[in-house]
Amino acid sequence: MRVALATLRALIGAVSFSGSCVAFAKLQGLMNEARRLSAFILPPSPEADADKSQSA
């Protein structure tokens, strides 16, 4: 039980810390565009590639 609570606390702390880092970066103007987790996990769809090539 202690290990599960420690793991849960560490996970919550990591999420809180990363959110604070993102907020700081946005307020300082270091981060201009939104980041999505799915963009790092899922491969881009062919439709997204076609949209980018048409707008460029």
pLDDT tens-digit readout, 27-42: 998 877 776 666 566 6
Contact (CB, 8 A) for 31 and 25 = yes
Residues sharing a CB contact under 8 Å with residue 35, sequence separation 6 or more, in sequence order:
22
**Residue-range domain boundaries for the chain:** 1-33
Report the candidate in 4, 33, 35 with the shortest Cα–Cα distance to residue 18. Answer: 35
Radius of gyration for the chain, computed over Cα atoms and rounded to the nearest angstrom: 17
Contact (CB, 8 A) for 22 and 31 = yes
Tokens of 5: 């609570």
pLDDT tens-digit readout, 10-30: 999 999 999 999 899 989 988
